[in-house]
Chains A and B, each alone.
Chain A
Amino acid sequence: MTAAFWTVAETARQIATGQITASRLVDATLARIATVDRELGAFLDVDEAGARATAHELDRKRTAGEPLGPLAGVPIALKDNLVTKGIPTTAGSQILVGWIPPYDATVVEKLRAAGAVIVGKTNLDEFGMGSSTERSSFKQTRNPWDASRVPGGSSGGSAAAVAAGLCAASLGTDTGGSIRQPAAFTGVVGLKPTYGRVSRWGVVAFASSLDQVGPLARTVADAALLLEVISGHDPRDATSLAAPVPRYTAALAGGVAGLKVGLPREFFDGHGSGTIDADVRAALDRTIAMLRDQGAELVEVSLPHTPLALAAYYIVAPAEASSNLARYDGVRYGKRAEASDLLDLYRKTRGAGFGPEVKRRIMLGTYALRSGYYDAYYKKAQQVRALIKRDFEQAFTQVDVLLTPTTPTAAFRFGAKATPLDMYLGDIFTLSCNLAGLPGLSVPCGLTSEGLPIGAQLLGKPLDEATLLRVGAVIEREVGLGDRRPGAIA
């Protein structure tokens, strides 16, 4: 196995035992990025100098016998909505072109403290708003399995980079499925933690009550390791949880015997205006059968308010987004337009700096928060959200974990979604999890007849990432992609 596709655990071991120096690994990684990413388009910024400096320091430490962290020498990529000190951060938007943050996000600090080598910032839908990375204002990212198709979004760059072996793992963010869906589309593992499990300090806010940072990796074990490093209470984030962080890596081997796995019927009978792709359905059926063979009990459950999730999400998220993006006015940072007066400054800066999808969501959110509309829209959506959460709580009295397809279809082609609504409808399976604040994991469970990856989604109780990872490990072992690698760009 080439170093490009080593797991995080393998990489860390190779570095720690001196079989490869961090500097050599970084060189190889950067060289591979330089060639492969020309077509892939996963990176917005590659921090060669920073990566080399970190690697150099690690090598010095190792030689001097100083202790190394659990991710020492491991090349990691970061979605470009994670604030990095001294490294340009754009959130995929023209409005932040040239912005160099004076501070690091908490997750970045934690990765660095663990010895990770940050190789660069990855492409995303602008401000996290999108499901295909087509909404990046800078470039297209391609799916390494099929260059005519999207890698998913909004963490498309992070997913593609991991799938194509340009880094050992990456971090993305998930507000309505933005880690899980691209993970499913690119055949990697993607985890959205329980809301509050991981600090949002330094995460460019999209929807404050929905956003979470999570890992994308090639194996479940890698995702568990990353999760261990980035989780924990942060006094700088008032919504972060005080609960202690378990050793997720220790909980993977349990198997599924005796576990109750729920199948929410609303996710399987093709609700919404799109039916589930036949190949996706087949892969899920195979997964279900396998789990049964492995000793799990499969139970049909119901989450009756599921059909409302799309509407609730597309009111709450844009409303919070319209508020969080009010700060982008060109006054203190970001690209400022020429203007004759203050009002002109605001309107032109934001009009020119934001892309169409972002503008659309800001408009939607502003609409929903207007006085006279607040009760019927935002407040109502938050109440429906409470009902959706209640559905899950009810289901979890009967089962330990839920299994669904991550997406109704595999990766679609560029330009395939004709209208915004078409794009939104693809998120129907991932949205509820964010609304309810629950953890969610996408694990590859097969390929379509066209050779495109399919993801199985596991949804868990609050703070029960351990069960998700345990079940995910079984799926990975039994019906995962094994050694198969993307063929189109690699």
Chain B
Amino acid sequence: MTRTVAELLEVWEPVIGLEVHVQLATKTKAFSASAVGFGEPPNSLTDPVVLGLPGSLPVFNAAALELALRLGIATGSQIRTRSRFARKHYFYPDQPKGYQISQYDEPLCEHGHVDLILGCAVKRVRLTRIHLEEDAGKNTHVGAVSHVDLNRAGVPLVEVVSEPELTSAEEAAEFMRSLHRLVRWIEISEADMEKGQLRCDANVSIRPRGDHRLGTRTELKNINSFRHVQNAIDHEIARQLRIVSAGGQIERETRLWDAEAGQSASLRSKEEANDYRYFPDPDLPPLVVDSAMMANILRALPELPAARFERYQRMHGISPDDARTLVSDRSFAEYFDAACAAHPGEGSGRTIANWMLTELLGALNAEAKQLSQARMSPGMLSALVGLVENGTISGKIGKEIFAECYATGDPPLAIVLRRGVQQISDEGVLREIVERVVTAHPKQAEGFAAGKDGLFGFFVGAVMKETQGRANPILTSDLLHKRLGR
């Protein structure tokens, strides 16, 4: 009897580990001063080192070290003060030297973590290591031949390896998104998956629930987007479950994901019997990191997403959902913090968050714009919120003022004054208007007195019309109730 995946998952537990390559945002390559670029004419970003010419030698990029350290520190990793580069040998046309300079025994960082924000809680996923390496060029298959472009060869990467403790495809995708957010947050990488600046391989295995040993894993390659991460891993888990439920064994292999076909194929070839023959690279002395360097980086680190997620809830009473949106991008969080700083006070955070998430992000999305392109500064938003809170304008008018401020970038108060839409909160003035309106509509007044509740709105509307919408709604309501007798 065949069982469904859901049924099998009651008995079997998926175990997933990710190996993610992140391209560091340096101007030059890892081991030489050749420029880094994307979409440039083929083989236009090379030099003797990149080409692996006889006699060429590597010298490591100081900026790459700084950026890698930043990630190490942001993930709470243990940083090795003396780490080593190692040569990883394999023959492939996109690997000019016949080896990749990477790290093996003594990587730069170990035992850090990445925080995932799942629902209301933060889940901490442990990392095995983060190490430095250089990228390979690009090899494109064209019929019977391959075309090689070495522009990407030598670009500095960090490889981030998670512990095998992700328990579902969904979690794996969230890990990718979190890492993506983090590397952009601390400005070490653009991490554009379409440009290949963030790439991942997944190691997937299954084991009986409750068992602590790891099953045989397969390695999944060619995962090019967040969506692929989830689909490919789900597919692989299902494939493995089908095999074991039919009594078969999982083979240790590498499989290529084909997003169009929605399935993976085994990469079986002689190339796979790879003995990388790692040894410390004799051309590169140990990489030394001193505590002053690390202290500087730690000092300059911005408050990270997970910490902000918790602080926004704790300090501002913002809901987990809203908090998660605010930390989905560093620019949101910074904008929010700046607006709150300009407008401190009990509950102001929640109010500002509401305005940001509904009005501001709504307006930006409608125009497909980024927050950095918004003409409305945090100061302006907080000023607007202030004007509503102190009664200068009503909430309804506030939305109109928002729209104009967003469109023009003019300060809210200036717009209010220009349009003359200050709220009327003078009791005397309002009482007169209420009197006039009620007197002018005796029939409706009688009707309301007789119990027709709906007519209240009529009077409110009439007062608003008299005042071009400027009447303080709460006062108006109060005064009307008094005048109308109930």
Q: Which A residues are closer than 8 A to B by beta carbons? A: 82-83, 89, 91, 96, 99, 101-103, 105, 200-205, 207-209, 235-239, 319-320, 323, 325-327, 329, 331-333, 342-343, 346, 366, 369-371, 374, 378
Total A-B residue pairs with C-beta atoms closer than 8 Å? 100
Measured CB to CB, the closest approach of chain B to A436, in angstroms, equals 15
- Chain B interface mostly helix, strand, loop or mixed? loop
Can you name the residue of chain B whose Cβ is closest to the Cβ of A93?
Answer: B54
A237 contacts which chain B residues (CB < 8 A)? 57, 59
A96 contacts which chain B residues (CB < 8 A)? 54
List 29 contacting pairs A-B, 8 Å CB cutoff, sorted by A.
Answer: A82-B55, A83-B53, A99-B54, A102-B48, A102-B53, A103-B53, A105-B55, A200-B57, A204-B55, A235-B59, A236-B57, A237-B57, A239-B285, A323-B99, A323-B277, A325-B98, A326-B97, A327-B96, A331-B96, A331-B148, A332-B52, A332-B96, A332-B150, A333-B53, A369-B89, A369-B279, A370-B277, A374-B277, A378-B279
Would A323 and B87 be within 8 Å (CB), given that A235-B59, A239-B285, A378-B279 are in contact? Answer: yes
Q: How many residues of chain B get a CB closer than 8 Å to chain A's CBs?
A: 32
Q: Which B residues are closer than 8 A to A by beta carbons? A: 48, 51-60, 87, 89, 91, 93, 96-99, 146, 148, 150, 270, 275-279, 282-285
- Chain A interface mostly helix, strand, loop or mixed? loop
Measured CB to CB, the closest approach of chain B to A98, in angstroms, equals 13
A204 contacts which chain B residues (CB < 8 A)? 54-55
A91 touches B54 (CB 8 A): yes
Could you say which of B55, B91, B96 contacts A346, with CB atoms under 8 Å apart?
B91
Can you name the residue of chain A whose Cβ is closest to the Cβ of B47?
Answer: A103
A103 touches B48 (CB 8 A): yes
Measured CB to CB, the closest approach of chain A to B61, in angstroms, equals 12
Can you name the residue of chain A whose Cβ is closest to the Cβ of B148?
Answer: A331
B283 touches A239 (CB 8 A): yes
CA distance A325 to B89 in the complex (A): 11
State the 6 A-B residue pairs at the shortest beta-carbon distance, nearest first. Answer: A326-B98, A369-B277, A208-B282, A209-B282, A83-B55, A202-B55
B87 contacts which chain A residues (CB < 8 A)? 323
Can you name the residue of chain B whose Cβ is closest to the Cβ of A202?
Answer: B55
CA distance A200 to B51 in the complex (A): 17
B97 contacts which chain A residues (CB < 8 A)? 326-327
- 12 further interface pairs, Cβ-Cβ under 8 Å (given A101-B53, A239-B285, A323-B279): A82-B55, A200-B57, A203-B55, A204-B54, A209-B282, A237-B57, A323-B87, A327-B96, A331-B148, A332-B53, A333-B54, A371-B275
B59 touches A236 (CB 8 A): yes
Measured CB to CB, the closest approach of chain B to A349, in angstroms, equals 11
B270 contacts which chain A residues (CB < 8 A)? 343
A329 touches B91 (CB 8 A): yes
CA distance A39 to B155 in the complex (A): 50
CA distance A378 to B97 in the complex (A): 21
CA distance A346 to B93 in the complex (A): 10
Measured CB to CB, the closest approach of chain A to B47, in angstroms, equals 9
Measured CB to CB, the closest approach of chain A to B369, in angstroms, equals 45
A91 contacts which chain B residues (CB < 8 A)? 54
Would A319 and B279 be within 8 Å (CB), given that A326-B89, A327-B97, A331-B148 are in contact? Answer: yes
Would A238 and B59 be within 8 Å (CB), given that A204-B54, A326-B98, A327-B97 are in contact? Answer: yes
Would A371 and B277 be within 8 Å (CB), given that A236-B59, A239-B283, A342-B146 are in contact? Answer: yes
B89 contacts which chain A residues (CB < 8 A)? 323, 326, 369
